[in-house]
């Protein structure tokens, strides 16, 4: 799979790997996957406990974890124009294409750096 960011890490879901871009710059964090269609990759936002889906072209799955990748909150098939208010203890927020998430609260995400 190709994405414009390159493959910074991979998220493993049901023995499949999803390329994940680590958004570190202000611009990357600001735009994320806004205005994009047919995304086949995800992003991860560090030290981010809230997001919005304004200007999104597709629904996404959102997985919020602590520093050890323990799942704290999940939002599947999140539609555009939604706001997730700040959540306590969230360190990483993953945004992935809708329909791929099969993790549950308290699971530990499997990643490849």
Whether the pLDDT of residue 6 is over 60: the answer is no
Q: Is residue 87 part of a domain?
A: yes
**Structural domain for 59, as ranges:** 9-112
108 compared with 35, residue with greater pLDDT = 108
In angstroms, the CA 3 to CA 90 distance is 26
Phi-psi region of 25 (alpha: psi -120 to 50; beta: other; left: phi over 0): beta
In angstroms, the CA 15 to CA 73 distance is 22
Does the pTM surpass 0.75? The reply is yes
Q: Is residue 3 part of a domain?
A: no
CATH number reported for the structural domain that contains residue 62 in this entry:
2.60.120.1140
């Amino acid at each position: 799979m190709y994405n414009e960011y390159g493959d910074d890490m991979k998220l493993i879901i049901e023995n499949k790997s999803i390329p994940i871009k680590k958004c570190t710059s202000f611009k990357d964090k600001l735009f994320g996957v806004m205005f994009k269609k047919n995304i086949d990759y995800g992003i991860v936002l560090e030290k981010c406990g809230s997001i919005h889906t304004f200007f999104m072209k597709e629904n996404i799955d959102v997985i919020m974890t602590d520093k050890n990748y323990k799942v704290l909150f999940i939002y599947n098939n999140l539609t555009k124009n939604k706001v997730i208010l700040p959540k306590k203890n969230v360190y990483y927020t993953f945004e992935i294409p809708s329909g791929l998430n099969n993790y549950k609260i308290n699971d530990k995400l499997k990643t490849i750096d």
